[in-house]
Amino acid sequence: MPPPRSKRPSPRVRIFPLGDTALLAELGTKLDTALNSRAISLATALKKRRDVRQAVAGYAGVTVYFDPEQTTHDALGAAIKRLAAKRPPMAEPGRLHRIPVVYDGPDLEEVAARLKLTPQRIADLHSKPIYRAFLVGFVPGWAYLGPLPEELELPRRHVPRTQVPAGSVAIAGRQTGIYPLPTPGGWHLIGRSSVKLFFPDRDPPILFRAGDRVKFFAASR
């Protein structure tokens, strides 16, 4: 007789209260595309519930705002655990954006020196992956993209800039991004792009959405 088939282990979900009408469902703690896909799927499922006012996916979790007249922390937390245990539907690949970058940022030489790489190698490594838009936030149109190759990992700048030009391409930790608007920022600026990311007169007003894919390529000046 063949041995019994082992059950697929249930995904671990931790529930944290966030005030009287919200909670956080944490699926994991690392920067991981599979975890992010699960978070987006869970948020989509929760938005269909009448007792949920809003569900916002993060890197590896979902912030859920609920109607306290229809549910409680405990009841909704139990429902979330049941939803998370289900195998999520096969996710559709996010839209692919090809983004030109001129690799001449003001921090490029310093980044190269700290990582003991040439500026050309920085550009080659940065433009190699297809990045995932884990979430959109910070300022309108900003997407947190990753994972960045390990060879390019650096902590944020010790002293943030008070103003970063729109279109600046930056890295920090295991992530990269493009500043859509002039704004303060503490990431390392390695290049610039002419692609516009924020359109205030459109609906939706932003280019990137969570789950999208981004491929950078080197462009001439």
Write out the DSSP string of 63-77. Answer: EEEE-TTT--HHHHH
pLDDT, residue 162, reads 97
One domain for residues 69 and 108: no
Nearest to 166 by CA among 208, 198, 212, 210: 198
Q: Is residue 132 part of a domain?
A: yes
Task: Give the pLDDT band of residue 88 (cuts 50, 70, 90).
Answer: low
Residue 191 lies in domain:
96-218
Lowest mean pLDDT among 35-39, 113-117, 119-123, 125-129: 35-39
Q: What is the CATH number of the domain that holds 38?
A: 3.30.1360.40
> Are residues 168 and 59 part of one domain?
no
Residue ending a domain, among 39, 58, 85, is 85
| Domain contains 2 | no
pLDDT of residue 151: 97
Q: What is the mean pLDDT of the chain?
A: 92
Q: Are residues 79 and 112 in the same domain?
A: no
**Is 155 inside a domain boundary?**
yes
DSSP-derived pairing of the beta strands 96-101 and 213-218: parallel
